[in-house]
Structure formats: structure tokens, C-alpha cells
Amino acid sequence: GLLTSLHCLAMCGGINLSQCLSYNADNDTSGRLARLKPSLLYNGGRVVSYTMIGGLAGALGSGIIFSGAAKGIVAIVSGVFMVIMGLNMLNVFPWLRRLNPRLPRFFGSRMQRGKGRYGPFVIGLLNGLMPCGPLQAMQLYALATGSFAAGALSMFVFSLGTVPVMFGFGAVSSILSGKFTHKMMKASAVLVVVLGVVMANRGLALSGISLPFMPFGSGVGPRGCNIAAIKGGVQVVTTNLQPGSYEPIVVQKGIPVKWIIKAQKSTINGCNNEIVIPKFNQGKKLEPGDNVIEFTPTESGTFSYSCWMGMIRSKITVVDDLNNFDASDLSTDA
């Protein structure tokens, strides 16, 4: 939210400014605190709206079972939305503007004429329906959480991140020049494109697709690779969970794998607490103690796995014969 607040300012700064100016013109705002009231009302409405929409999206998602690949598709679509929005702000490809979602005419006209003591709050509520790339990306993320509480919380935190810049803009709008605003819009557009690419890359990670030239957020364990040991027709490999990374493993094709992930309460966090392995259709919620993942690889190759957010990534290397495998030949790049 904080990183995309410049984009919010470029998209909604005019609405924010108009509400502050019209409110101050129509109401008694002789005191300093009184002049801040319209900006407080407007941003309060945005926070309430974003939170409610996030909760509704999460509740809707609770009826949908999202696989790792499905979550990846959601992230990819969100990233593409953000890239398109950023490119449109830069006016790089004018034809892309046709792909922008449009706000219904009723809401657009209501935003332009919001009046009354609580007019800015109402306009803030309607702000949640704006066709905004980062906002829609977060709405898709809330949908993927599959929980009313998680969806509402994610959108609440996102909205809080946008408040400082938006509130500050409403408070000091009179001293901002048009030249500064133009530069700010260009900078925010570039930022939105970068964040869109990062989000799309995380979606690729959740889909099991690894791009070596896009290593954002990837990580490998400090102990390097872990090679499985075959015992009684089952190959066992043990790794230790780290707060910000996963350890790569090496297993043999055609033999059932028993992967033991040792986790301590202190090493589990909100990002690494669930592993997604798209290639083997596996997902595991990690808890303190020994966490066991079982699968049988049927083909050799290198397959990526990640956390449920696609931020922490590592890999599973499947070889034809462990006896002929040389660990020095394995790159530890995720």
C-alpha cells in the first residue's frame, strides 16, 4: 500500500483535492484541525470501503478451492493489470487504454458532485470501486485468501499503507505545483510497472515456472542442497526450515520420496508457513515439529517450489541415479 500510494495519488489525487476544496468552501473550517477534516473523512471512507470489499472478496473465495496454479494465475492476472495501468499512465501504447476497466457513469457523476458534511466520507466509500490496477490486484489477492477475515485484513493493511501520502496530499495540496504533480505521476507509473512485473513473477513461481533472469524474492537454504538417502525402497531427505529461505533437495526418479521438513516455532512466519509444489501437486501447511511431504517423481529435471505467496523459492532436482550424481555439479541458484 505504501509503495503504490504514489499511484493512488495520481489516480485519485484529483478527487481528494476536489473534496477538500469544496468542503472547505461550503463549511466553516476556520481552525487548523477543521481544515484537515475533509481529508480525514475521505481517507476514512476509503479504509472502510477497501476493508469491506476485501472481506466480501475473501468470503466469495472461501467457496472456491484455489490450487497453487490457480493462485499463480490470480497473481499473474493482477500483475498484468498493474503493468497495463502503468504503461497507460506513461502513454507508451495508447491502444492499451481500451483494456482499462471503466467506472460506471453513475458512480463517476456521484464522485464529481459529492456534497454535504459527510460528502468526502461517501466519496471515499465509492473510491473502492475505482478501476485501479493495484487496487484490483489486491482485490484478487483477497479473493485468493478464501477467508472473510484474511481478505478484510489484507485490504485493511493495504488501505492504511496508502493513507499517509493521500492524507498529506489533501493537507498540503495548495503548495503542490502542476510540474511536480506531472513528475510524480511519471514516477508512480514506473513504480506500478515494476511492482506489476514482480507480482507476475511471483505468480509464475506459484505455477511452477522459474525464470532465471527474474530472481525477485527467491532464496536458498544456507546449508546448500540436501541429497536423499534410499532406505527400504523409500528415499528420505531432511531439511530445516529457515525464516526467509527454503533448502533445495535432490531426489531420484521413480522412487517414493519422504521429505521431512523440521520447523521450529521461531522459524515459522506468515510467508514461509505453507509450501506449494506445483509439479507434484503438493501443498503443505507447516507446523512446529516434523512436517512430512510424500510424492513420487516420474521424470528427471529441475522443478521449482515456493511459499504460498510465491516470494520464497527453491528447487527440487530429480536425477536418474543418485549414485552417479555429483553435488558439485548442482547450482544453488533458485
- Measured between alpha carbons, how far is 54 from 151 in angstroms, rounded to an integer? 5
Rounded Cα distance, 171 and 186, in Å: 22
Distance of CA 61 to the CA centre of its chain: 16
Domain with 243 in it? 226-329
DSSP secondary structure code for residue 265 in this structure: G
The C-alpha cell at 129 is 470501486
- d(C-alpha 131, C-alpha 82), whole Å: 11
Q: Same domain, yes or no, for 127 and 272? A: no
Map grid coordinates 481517507 to a residue. Answer: 43
Per the domain annotation, does 92 fall within a domain?
yes
Strands (E), 215-312: 226-227, 229-231, 234-240, 249-252, 257-263, 274-277, 282-285, 289-295, 301-307
175 plus 62 within the same structural domain: yes
Strands of 229-231's sheet in order across = 229-231, 234-240, 257-263, 289-295
Residues 185 and 46 in one domain: yes
Q: H helices then E strands: how many in the chain?
A: 8, 10
Q: What is the pLDDT of residue 253?
A: 94
Number of Cβ atoms within 10 Å of the Cβ of 167: 18
pLDDT value of position 88: 75
Assess whether 33 and 107 both reside in one domain. yes
The answer to the question of residue 192 being in a domain is yes
pLDDT at 319: 93
- Residue 45 is predicted with a pLDDT of 84
DSSP state of 268: -
Q: Could you state, in chain order, the average pLDDT of each consecutive group of 10 residues for the chain (334 residues)?
A: 56 52 49 64 84 87 63 73 75 70 51 55 73 68 81 87 71 54 67 76 71 48 71 92 89 94 91 86 90 94 84 88 75 45
Which residue, of 206, 240, 270, is where some domain finishes? 206
Domain boundary among 206, 234, 267: 206
Q: Are residues 202 and 304 in the same domain?
A: no
CA 175, distance to chain mean position in Å, is 34
Q: Is residue 256 domain-shared with residue 170, that is, in the same domain?
A: no
What pLDDT sits at residue 239? 93
230/193 same-domain check: no
Number of domains comprising the chain: 2
What is residue 27's three-state secondary structure? coil
**CATH number, position 281:** 2.60.40.420
As a residue count, the chain comes to 334
Q: State the Cα–Cα distance between residues 261 and 246, nearest whole angstrom.
A: 10
Nearest to 88 by CA among 203, 214, 188: 188
Task: Please check whether residues 191 and 234 belong to one and the same domain.
Answer: no
Is the whole model's pTM more than 0.75, yes or no?
Answer: no
The predicted pLDDT at position 254 comes to 93
Sole residue written with cell 492499451:
96
Asked if 170 and 243 sit in the same domain, the reply is no
Q: Evaluate whether residue 217 is within a structural domain.
A: no
334 lies in some domain: no
pLDDT of residue 175: 47
Are 167 and 279 in a shared domain?
no
Residue 297: how many other CB atoms lie within 10 Å: 21
